[in-house]
Structure 1
């Protein structure tokens, strides 16, 4: 049974220590994205590792954690201005409506956007139906 979600929803990232971060639902975007100010690829014991920090220091949810992933790739995406750019893509567990699942996010500069997270179709497919009149239905369902 698919859950109804609003145009903005709260999302938790347990592996990254983030709770109740606002994500904007974007059915026009295939891949989800999250704001990233710092990203660096390094080599550790002969393996490539991606280090990154998500959200902005001015964001109330920002924790300054230096995150790392060996499970990442690079993806060519069209940005909101229609220009192709290469972004790092990472996978992590997320929780929405008390359901935990794996999701992929590209790391990008969303500092000029209102929401630090964009939730695209790949995350939504088979799980959610969007009601654009609503916001934060996951929070309302906890009452």
Structure 2
């Protein structure tokens, strides 16, 4: 990031988009204590040839509208053992996709997991936070709210 530009400041929760997955607005908890980012995914399956595997999965992007379900597909980077905040180890599919927040886009890796019962469908870990960005843990939603209307049209 150039020094003459203001840093992108994230609150502890933010609206983000994963445009390559068709997810135009999703609330993410920004967690610098978590190494890996995570996305709530259901019915995860590995498809395609072994030389170029992909993950196919269902995402319900809005906690307040569980009837909205989006089928997604992404390049599968592999599977990794991840320790959750509750201390449980879980093998997760790891995908590569693009994150968009605050008018900027960058590539991230996401672990697909069941986040049922948690307050946010996505967790943005420290690997996804770019150099020069700042996190203000005392505030939420510092970036503009993203529209959820597109889900209603396509759902």
TM-score range, shorter chain: 0.7 to 0.9
1:136 paired to 2:130: no
Counterpart of 2:57 in structure 1 is 52
CA deviations on 1:18-66 (whole Å, 9 max, x unpaired) are 2221100111100100101110113459753321112368653875332
- Alpha carbons 2:21, 2:74 under 8 Å: kept: no
TM-score by length of 2: 0.79
Q: Which residue of 5, 20, 24 maps to 2:10?
A: 5
Identify unmatched segments of 5+ residues in structure 1: none
SS, match of residue 90 in structure 2: strand
Task: List gaps (5 residues or longer) in structure 2.
Answer: 2-6, 146-155
Give the number of aligned pairs: 140
Write the mapping of 1:1-143 to structure 2, written as runs, cut at 5 A. Answer: 1=1, 2-44=7-49, 47-55=52-60, 59-60=64-65, 63-139=68-144
Answer with 72-81 or 49-58: which moved more: 49-58
TM-score normalised by length of structure 1: 0.85
Distance 1:63 1:122, change over 3 A: same
RMSD between superposed Cα atoms in Å: 2.4
